[in-house]
Chains A and B, each alone.
Chain A
Amino acid sequence: MSYTQLAVTSVLLAGALDMWAIRTRLLISKVFWTSYAIIVSFQLLTNWWLTSRNIVIYDRHAITGVRIASAPVEDLLFGFALVLGVLALWVFWGRRENQRAARARK
Chain B
Amino acid sequence: MLKYGYFAMLLFTVLGSFWLEIALRVRVLRRVGRVALSVLPVAAVFTIWDAYAIHRGHWRFDPAQIVGKFGPFHIPIEEYLFFLIVPIAAIMTLEAVRNVKKHWPVGDEAQ
Which residues does A use to contact B, with CB under 8 Å? Answer: 2-3, 6, 10, 24-26, 29-32, 34-35, 38-39, 42, 45-46, 49-50, 53-59, 62-63, 79, 82-83, 85-87, 89-95, 97-99, 101-102
Known A-B contacts A31-B94, A86-B39; the reply to A46 vs B53 at CB < 8 A is no
Given contacts A46-B13, A82-B86, A98-B110, contact A62 B57 (CB under 8 A): yes
Chain B interface main SS type: helix
Query: Are the CB atoms of A82 and B46 closer together than 8 Å?
Result: yes
Residues of chain A within 8 A (CB-CB) of B52 are 6
Q: Which residues of B contact A (CB under 8 A)?
A: 5-6, 8-9, 12-13, 16, 34-35, 37-39, 41-42, 45-46, 49, 52-53, 56-62, 65-66, 83, 86-87, 89-91, 93-94, 97-98, 101, 104-111
The CA of A85 and the CA of B6, in the complex, are separated in Å by 24
Q: Which residue of B lies closest to A101 (CB)?
A: B110
Residues of B within 8 A of A98 (CB): 108-111
Closest beta carbon of chain B to A89's beta carbon, Å: 4
19 A–B contacts from the bound complex (CB under 8 Å) = A6-B52, A6-B58, A29-B105, A29-B106, A30-B101, A31-B105, A34-B104, A53-B65, A57-B60, A57-B62, A62-B58, A83-B87, A85-B45, A87-B38, A90-B38, A91-B106, A93-B38, A94-B34, A98-B109
The 3 closest A-B CB pairs, nearest first, are A94-B108, A89-B38, A86-B87
A42 touches B16 (CB 8 A): yes
- Taking a contact as CB atoms under 8 Å apart, the answer to whether B107 and A29 are in contact is yes
CB distance from B50 to the nearest CB of A (A): 10
With contacts A50-B6, A86-B42, A86-B91 taken as known, whether A6 is within 8 angstroms of B61 at the C-beta atoms is no
Shortest A105–chain B CB gap in Å is 10
Q: Which of B12, B13, B42, B58 contacts A3 (CB 8 A)?
A: B58
CA distance A29 to B6 in the complex (A): 33
